[in-house]
Structure 1
Amino acid sequence: MTSTIRTSVVPFVVNATGTGVAQHLIAEGDAGHEFDTDAYPAFGGRDEAPSPLFYALGALTSCNQVTAALVAKDLEITLGSFDFRVQGDLDTAVLVGGADGNANFDAVTVTATVQSDATPEQFQEFVSEVERRCPVSQLFIRSGLEFANDWQQAPLEG
């Protein structure tokens, strides 16, 4: 059997060590970025670093911004600054209490404002393409939770 090597596939690797509910993580690669996670005391942590859930939501905003830059280039529109607010509603009954059900967020809402010179039609296409092409958005969407994506356009300054 012959396997096909796809040159478009990039592996992302994170190594982690930890004790209790805290971890130290290192992203493999030239830069070797490092970060830490912890949990609220109610979950057995000391709240000395962001929760993995905050990192998941933060990954959603930053991946949307990276994807937006790529989509804007393809659509030949200019972007300025971004403002994001993401809310994830989590029923902790499964995580904390061991109840039956899905431990996933029940709902995630992305609210974004981005400066752009796009026409209203271009902006709608832009938002649709960002959602379709963003790997982290697709992780949330395909998980089956209620996903709301509300993007507003602001005038491009400067």
Structure 2
Amino acid sequence: MAIRMKTEVMLRATATCPSHSRSDIAIRDLEFAIDEPAERGGTNAGPTPTDTALAALIGCTNVIGHKCADRLGIDIGHLDISAKCAFDRRGVTLEEEIDVPFTRIELTVTSNGSASADDLTRLAAEVRKFCPLSKLFTGAGTEIVEIWQPAD
């Protein structure tokens, strides 16, 4: 008898916030800090909340990219992923409410596997369909420009 996976699960996280800028996050058996840099009154104990969101997109692209590659039979080997984000700071500085703070993200994904440029184009389209963080950003109005490329 096949085991059927749940279609919806509850994600949980808790935090102790010892200062105005630092949140000590606990997820499963992991603990990490989200903090602001010293020049903004933090202790630089971890990435900022906005840096963490961008890092989550990179991590999700890696995980979903490998799942989609396996499904498509594409060898992507390991990925190197970089992201550049145009971020409208007027909201976090309380200057004014901003509907789309992450205005544009450029995501460059480099595969060291044997996948061709055409394979990576097909793969990118699949990842866009299934990556929850990509969907979260694009649903909020962020323009995501992706470059999927084989390593030199």
TM class by shorter chain equals: 0.7 to 0.9
| TM-score normalised over the length of structure 2 | 0.86
Asked if the contact 2:117–2:148 (Cα under 8 Å) also holds between the matched residues in 1, the reply is no
Offset from partner CA, 1:26-76 (integer Å, 9 cap, x none): 003xxx111101012443322222111111111111110100111011011
Of 117-126 and 133-142, the range deviating more from structure 2? 117-126
Aligned-residue offset at 1:86: 0.5
Identity of paired residues, percent? 26
Alignment match, 1:38: 35
Aligned-residue offset at 1:108: 1.1
CA distance, structure 2, for counterparts of residue 94 and residue 41 of structure 1: 20
Alignment match, 2:22: 22
Change (3 A) 1:49 1:150: same
Offset from partner CA, 1:64-107 (integer Å, 9 cap, x none): 01001110110112221211110111121221133243362121
CA distance, structure 2, for counterparts of residue 10 and residue 58 of structure 1: 22
| TM-score normalised over the length of structure 1 | 0.83
Aligned-residue offset at 1:121: 3.5
SS of equivalent to 1:16? strand
CA distance, structure 2, for counterparts of residue 87 and residue 137 of structure 1: 14
> AA paired with 1:131?
R
Structure 1 stretches (4+) deviating beyond 6 angstroms? none
Of 76-85 and 97-106, the range deviating more from structure 2? 97-106
Change (3 A) 1:96 1:130: same
**Matches of residues 2-151 of structure 1 in structure 2 within 5 Å?**
7-18=6-17, 19-28=19-28, 32-102=29-99, 104-151=101-148
CA distance, structure 1, for counterparts of residue 97 and residue 54 of structure 2: 24
CA distance, structure 2, for counterparts of residue 120 and residue 111 of structure 1: 13
State the superposition RMSD in angstroms.
1.9
> AA paired with 2:20?
G
Of 35-44 and 132-141, the range deviating more from structure 2? 35-44
Q: How many residues align?
A: 147
